[in-house]
Amino acid sequence: MNVVLLGAPGAGKGTQAAVLTKQLGVVHVASGDLFRKALSENTELGLLAKSYMEKGDLVPDEVTIEMVLERIRQPDCAPGVLFDGFPRTLSQAQALDEKLDGEGKRIDRAVYIEVPEEELVKRLSGRWICRECQTPYHSESSPPKVAGKCDVCGGELYQRADDTEETVRERLKVFFSQTLPIVEYYEKQGKLLRVDGDRDIEEVSAAIARLLEAGNA
Ligand code: ADP
Ligand code: ADP
Ligand code: ZN
């Protein structure tokens, strides 16, 4: 099964991905995590992505598509993939469909987590992330058990440089102008599931599980 998680920055894609990958037995592929890894390793890709990420703009399609397609070629992705943060433009969505089509595979479902803009800003300004396993936390809504440490792996928590109010506003603008059209793209293909993401983490997880089950019935 291949599933795309759609939602604005802060909608809870990473949070729900942690639950969903276990439920579905698929691999979590987050384009933002891949870029941050490249950045921390000072690779050519990381250096290229840096200036775009700092401004909250999208990294050009060509590099992004190549990076993600390269990742899903790895053998661990064979059981299926949960895409998080990719695709973010129509040409990324089309490139992904073409690639999967060539292998006799497809995107089965796209789950769109909807959250009002002011709530997104609140979530991102309090977000903390594990440096080791990328699990997201929130200083108010989902704090770690031990301050500054990841519940899952004990890794150090940090705040992303692009989670400042100014960059967040830019990222939201980019989402509504460049990414929202792919909601319609998946809707036309009959694959879209909409979820109200403005409630507790557990309630959102339960709603997604119900929708995916109903969709497969
Ligand atoms: P969030 O989870 O807050 O939405 P991400 O971690 O997915 O943020 O992305 C962080 C940044 O990485 C983006 O602002 C963008 O610069 C870059 N990026 C991630 N995914 C893509 C993509 N599919 N296309 C272009 N740029 C991307
Ligand atoms: P995305 O990957 O879509 O950018 P994250 O999963 O990183 O979003 O979540 C953004 C922030 O909001 C994190 O700090 C996370 O702990 C918090 N969060 C996620 N889901 C919820 C929710 N349903 N209610 C409140 N806070 C949430
Ligand atoms: Zn961790």
Tens of pLDDT along 74-121? 999 999 999 999 999 999 999 999 999 999 999 999 999 999 999 999
Tens of pLDDT along 5-15? 999 999 999 99
Residue 209's pLDDT is what?
96
Tens of pLDDT along 14-68? 999 999 999 999 999 999 999 999 999 999 999 999 999 999 999 999 999 999 9
> Per the residue annotation, which of 71, 88, 109, 123 is the catalytic one?
88
One-letter amino acid of 126: G
**Annotated catalytic, 13?**
yes
**Annotated catalytic, 199?**
no
Which domains are assigned to the chain?
2-117+165-216 (3.40.50.300)
What does 91-144 look like in DSSP terms, one character per residue?
HHHHHHHHHHHHTT----EEEEEE--HHHHHHHHHTEEEETTT--EEETTTB--
Distance CA 96, CA 117 (A): 28
Of 36, 119, 123, which is best to mutate to test ligand 2, by the most ligand atoms within 8 angstroms of its C-beta? Answer: 123
Tens of pLDDT along 157-180? 999 999 999 999 999 999 999 999
Banded pLDDT at 215 (limits 50, 70, 90)? confident
Query: Which contacts qualify for 152-159: CB closer than 8 Å, 24 or more apart?
Result: 155/130, 155/131, 156/130, 156/131, 156/132, 157/128, 157/129, 157/130, 157/131, 158/128, 158/129, 158/131, 159/127, 159/128, 159/129
Residue 214's pLDDT is what?
87
Pocket around ligand 1: residues whose beta carbon is below 6 Å from it? 9, 13-14, 31-32, 35, 52-53, 56-59, 64, 85-86, 88, 92, 171
- Average pLDDT on 136-145 reads 96
Residue 4's pLDDT is what?
98
